[in-house]
Chains A and B, each alone.
Chain A
Amino acid sequence: MNHKTTPLPVILLLCSLNVLLGQQVTISGTVNDDSNGETLIGATILETTSGNGTSTNEYGFYSLALPLGNDTLTVEYSYVGFQTRRLRILPNKDRKVNVKLGTGIELQEVVVKANSYQEQIRSTEMSVEEITTREVKVIPALLGETDILKTIQLKPGIPSGSEGTTGLYVRGGGGDQNLIVLDEAVVYNANHLFGFFSTFNTDAIKDLKLYKGGFPAQYGGRLSSVIDVRMKEGNNQRFAGTGGIGLITSRLTLEGPIQKDKSSFIVSGRRTYADLITRQINKANEDKEDYTPIPDYYFYDLNTKVNFTLGEKDHLYLSGYFGRDVFNFNSDFFDFNFYWGNVTGTARWNHVFSPKLFANTTYTYSKYNYNIETKVTGFSFKIGSDVQDNNLKTDFYYALNNRHTLRFGVNTTHHQFGVGRLKAGSDDGEISFSGGNDYTGASFGAYLADEAAFGVHWKVNYGLRLSGFTNDNKFYAGVEPRLATVYNVNPDLSFKASYARMYQYLHLVTTSGIALPTDVWYPSTSKIRPQYSDQIAIGVEKVLGGKYLITNEYYVKWLNNQVDFVDGARLFANNDLESEFAIGRGYGYGLELSIEKQEGKLKGWIGYTLALVKRGKFEPLDASRNFSDAGNYFFPRYDRRHDVSVVAMYDLSKRITLSATVVYGSGDRTWMPVGRFTFQEVYGGDPQEFVPVFGERNAIRLPYFFRSDAAIVYRFFPKWGESDLTFSVFNLTNRRNAFFLYIEPQYENKDEPLENPIAIPTGLKLKQVSLFPIIGSITFNFKF
């Protein structure tokens, strides 16, 4: 142990625990991908005689206690998709063992291990879904744009919002209750183009882990999920590149060693290019007097990362993300410029104090903002909002022995919010409008968790997180107990249970089911109390024949201080936004069942979710405002009773991989009118023949959802590397899934309403609008 740098109280605590727990040695180190040096997160390390094991943490570090002795022990290192390595280790002293795993000659030739799910069965972790970019890249995608957030929706318990979007409604939680972090920095609006694409460029991402429940104590801040996205570190073995050309975007990633085995970099960019075409069309038509130019729209992402090994015990990672959506419409008389996006920055310092004690200290910066600037002759209008975080945290991982692993840490975040900053007026200053509010806040967290093993069958991870938030001269504190336990009946069967309380101090201001760039985050204030939730989950995990993992979980969840908005809420440009809030509660329960196969030529999963969610007891903060169905419980739009997804990936040969997905779900709910009245209006106004009278909130369920997609990846192996053509077909059966409904009046003569302002319709028809028919796409990908 490094006594020069470890805090004294920590040393005393840890030493006394060591004495109590007997004579052991520790092997520790990192597990990396042999081909590029990338750390492997969640790799399994198992001492084969006793069955004691552990897994690598988020930084690829592991620490395994072994009984002191002179008999050589076999330790097995494994990771899905990689060849297992067995090392013989003499446990007579602490040892540092860094291990590299290889994929073998080709992926499909990897020998399937007897039980590749061993660590998962043993772990107290439950309600967790993981996905790697390797899977994402072969699963069919809309317009060929692979997207890790959309792929994770295929897992049980994570219904999407609207079709084709990245919205996540985890176990009945709202779309604003997901903590999305990229290299530990919060991404406040992980969407491009109304959520049809996420901000995560698959080429730059290593993997994604989503917690639906059983939240570890190190996480806090949102009620319903934690989505931990990790960027690649960059190849520290050789210079390499990947890229692709698709219908929507092109991508290029370059990575390589700065100093082989010790440091590397990665730079990855992605950009849409429809604007390059529309600009040419506009240019060709610029002389035509009646021509209205096509607006410019594009988005781009830039991910960068460098990492340095600073000696035996220290590692430094610096990463950044910068993404923007840009929408411009410029003419001689009118300029409209709208841009929005995220910036994140992360600096992480890993330090190994001892074979047992690992620490990570992180500074992150996050910013999301949007700006709208409009100019017409003599006048201008600007409005924008932003949220900005500076976060500092430190996390310790202490593998005390093979019975106790401790995690503890603290964090603090300074938040800045600019909400609806507006400046408008005439160029001569005669007319002037302004508005908006600025807020600052700070959040705090401290946690301690112990994963304790009681014998060989039973493990408990118990912990406590203390959180706090201050703003508006008001301080809120949250006590968040966390508990997760596993009982291993045998290496193929375990029962699990968990409980977690979560607090959420920031609230998203939105009423739309679709991610809008103008959705802003708003802090808890003296009137708006923090949201909090309690979730209990129980489950069973069973490995069948060493190949199939069956997971069955049941959960119940209570949501408090839920945020919604009053009828006719004015959320855009409002100096008194709080008067638009309504506060209520909610609950949800359900079961999730999945069977998955992670290795072999055929891989994939089948998932089923049965769920119910309700929200209610909403009361407006401003008593003069109205909230429909106040006091009653109602179904939210995303209440999806049944949800089935089937994902299959098949390596037909070295060159060809086939994949298919099938998704079935109960239709989303919608809020429909039940009545209508005729509104005569004042003189000059536009009379309305039928004004809808909306009934109970979301009482109508849309027709069921069904979609099947398929893709073929055909690989080439030129001398310079590897490339592939990916053909994908989205919505193979060309089913028309409901995006929204509307009611259309019918007239004997369809031009009648134009000719006669009080034309009487012969009837009304209910129409369903779908977004996506069958869509084929082709993408060219390469790597060298």
Chain B
Amino acid sequence: MSTASARRLNAQNARSGAPRGAGPVPPLVRDRDCYVAGVAGGLATHLGWSPLLVRVIFLVTGLVGAGVLLYLWLWAFTPWAEPTDAAPRVTRRAPVAWILVALAIGGAATAIGQALTTYEVRVGGAVPWIPTVVVTVLLAVAAGAWTSFIDRRDPERGRRTEVAVRLVATGVLTVLAVVLLTGPSAAQSPTVVFLAALFVVIGIGLLYAPSLVTLWNDLTTERVARIRDEQRSAIAAHLHDSVLQTLALIQNRAGASSEAGRLARAQERELRSWLFEGDSPADSDLATDLRDFASALELDYPVHIEVVAVGSSTERASGELAAAAREAMLNAARHAGGDVSVYIEGAATAVDVFVRDRGPGFDVASVASDRLGVRESIIGRMRRAGGRGTVGPGAGGVGTEVHLRFETGEAARG
């Protein structure tokens, strides 16, 4: 105890960074590194008393009754301390469930002893082992509740402890019930013994009730998620039928390069990505990034960019390949306009990106040397990154096609 309280004092001093009494009163919070619930420790820190003293006071007043209420009150209403590096999560050092189980075992042993040794039952009087049985059952149920609601979330205890605690408690209660039913008391006062045994059996049932509650909570959570999903897809279907159709029609009637068509296309793309790509956070893989970039370009230039992605690639949006591809798309939008196709193919060993436009096309050699766009941003960038970039005329000599290739086979970059 003394080392523990010394540790606590050290921790407290380290936290406040000042000798005790000098700074403001530390707030009333429950320390994450605690024995049971951190109430006594937190109160001691707050009042500047010794934790041992606080614990003794709680124990003494707890025997009278008021201390228990105060403890529960503080437990319910005092927040946990902010997580720190030293105590990132709640650590309970006392094995509360096992202590409760041990107490239940003690109670059961006492009750069994009383039941076996009590031959005379006073007529109309209390059966001496009844209070012990009640306390035993309550202790066992408390152990079960503690282990399911509190220990289960504790990675150091978890499900294994839960199952073990419950098994031991069940065993204790079963033995108690069997002894009561077969002991000498059963012959003398069968009704009382039957009721007592029934109470014990109900206690066994209550032991498992917390896991039912947890199961029920899980079910409810799942159902809520499903309802939300269904609602979402209903909204998606509705928007799909109404807004997307209208946007498609606007594009159709307004023409590919008109302002209205452009806005409608950008909106359509945005809405569609929301509808069909789910609410998973947009991971910035290459295809997603280029799609986003395409919709941004469509807002700024009279261009229609179709992005088709095949296969899966580990290429990130932050990579050089993505930067070069964005540059190529920007060039196509700026100088060619109209329809631009972007094709991404991610294989196990290489990633290919094709950007193809149907603009006037241009000859790399004829571009003035002070224009760095193509030479540096695309070809040079790919070469420096260990890939390859080629710029050439599109099929049939129409437009321009940029081909970027990046081998990922041998040297996968971190």
A-B complex is real? no
Residues of B within 8 A of A (CB): none
